[in-house]
Structures are given as C-alpha cells and as structure tokens.
Amino acid sequence: MLADLPIAVIGAGAMGEAIIGGLLRNELVAADQILASHPREERRRDLAQRYHIRTTHDNLEAAKWGRVVIFAVKPQQLRRVLPPLRGAIRDEDLVISVIAGATIASFAEALDHPAVVRSMPNTPAQIGCGMTVWTAAPAVTERQRGWAATVLGALGRELYVDTETYLDMATAINGTGPAYVFLMMEAMIDAGVHLGLSRRIAEELVQQTMLGSVQYAMQSGMHPAQLRNAVTSPGGTSAAALSELERGGLRTVLADAIWAAYRRSVELGRQG
C-alpha cells in the first residue's frame, strides 16, 4: 500500500517517532521513504542514527517532499507551523494530523489543501499497542484512506469514524485515557507500599493485574459489570473495597475528568 510512497513527518517528537518506528518495524516502508523535520539538530541526529532516515530542519522541504505529510507538532505550535506551508502540498497528496483538537477545517484552510485526515492516537502507540481513532475529509479518496489506515495501523489498532465530532470525544477517552490508567496504577502501587510491600513487588502486582484484567475482559466478551460481579463475593474483600470506591465517587470523578478533557479538546480546536 505504501511502497515507494514518500512520507514526511513534521514534528518528529514522541508521536512522530512512534509513527516512524511503527512503519519501519512492520516493514511497511523503507527508511529512505521517510523524511522527518525537527528544529533541534541533536534530535535530528538521533533520529537519523536510530532509524537511518533523512531529516531536515525545514518544514517546507518536508511538506513539498512527502506524498503523505504527517503533522505531529504540539497544538500550540500550529499557528506558527501551518501558514508558511500554504500551497506547498500537491493536490494528489494526503495530510494526516495526529494533533489533539486540530480540526480538518483548520488544516484545509491554512494549507489550502482539502485532502485531510484527522486522527487521535495515544501513547501506547510508541510500542505498537496504541488505539487510534480517525476520520477523513470528503476530498480524501479511497486510495488515500487506505494510506491513512495503513499508517495509523502501524501504531496498533485503528478505528475509522464518519463524524469528526467523535474525534474530540475520542481524545477524552483513548487520547487522554492512558493518563487515567497511569494515575490509578500509581495510586495502587503507593497503597501497596503503604501496606508494607516493597515498591518492586507492588509495581509487578499492579502492572500484571491491570494487563491481565484488560486481556481477560477483551477475550471474555462480557460486560465489565459482569466481570466485576464475578470477583465480588458477598461480604468479601472486593465488596469492601468497591464500597469505598463508590463512597468516594470514583465514577463521578472519572466522568467529570473525561468531560473536562472533551471540553479542552473542543477549546483547542477553536483556538486553532
């Protein structure tokens, strides 16, 4: 699907590197098909040595070179990055954004280019276990959608949705979701240490328990409430623990956090 297709990554930070690594790890492209831009020479040198790809400090060079041009800069940098690239991308080329809150319209208008894919990956993409939700502008052809699905699939699982408003919702769930999980992991590990476990043992217990629980949930196909009930014996330890979580308002706090992330994603889009 991507054979001999030049791919430019503008903003080769953590997520940009995840895309580069995923494409190469899955042998979807050759190293000489990738050109990555980054302002810092040290970062460019590191990427070139690690992946044997071409690098540049010039975003315009990257935009003109790629048939697929991937934007992975910080949301706050878009107003500075996009205007100098207006008109640089050919009509037959594809733009892919992995930037939280950045709308398709903001890219299409700033670049004067209608073929834009908007996506929301998450940090597990860095090890090929990400979850990416994406959508495409009407101008994106079926062939270009295939390019997008292949590129984003290199990060883990990809899910196409036909409504852009879902992207802000996805940002609050899969995009920001790892932060919720990491915070819960941290709290559980600290509680284990407080009980008297060594930090090493507490970390191993929490990590494997979370990993196994997710894998079990995915394979069982059961509703989470059914799974929770199955480990909650009357008057048992799980019942006691869950009572405290409900008393503390875990569900409400988590829902409020997700709504806050959603509102912030919408706000970032308006700022762009």
In the chain, where the domains are located = 7-162, 176-270
pLDDT in tens, the chain (272 residues): 798 999 999 999 999 999 999 999 999 999 999 999 999 999 999 999 999 999 999 999 999 999 999 999 998 899 899 999 999 999 999 999 999 889 999 999 999 999 999 999 999 999 999 999 999 999 999 999 999 999 999 999 999 999 999 999 999 999 999 999 999 999 999 999 999 999 999 999 999 999 999 999 999 999 999 999 999 999 999 999 999 999 999 999 999 999 999 999 888 877 76
Query: 98 φ, ψ to 5°?
Result: -120, 35
Known binding site: residues? Answer: 10-15, 59, 72-75
Fold for domain 176-270? ProC C-terminal domain-like fold (1.10.3730)
CA 188 distance to own-chain centroid: 25
Known binding site for NADPH: residues? Answer: 59
Fold for domain 7-162? Rossmann fold (3.40.50)
Known binding site for NADP(+): residues? Answer: 10-15, 72-75
pTM here is 0.90
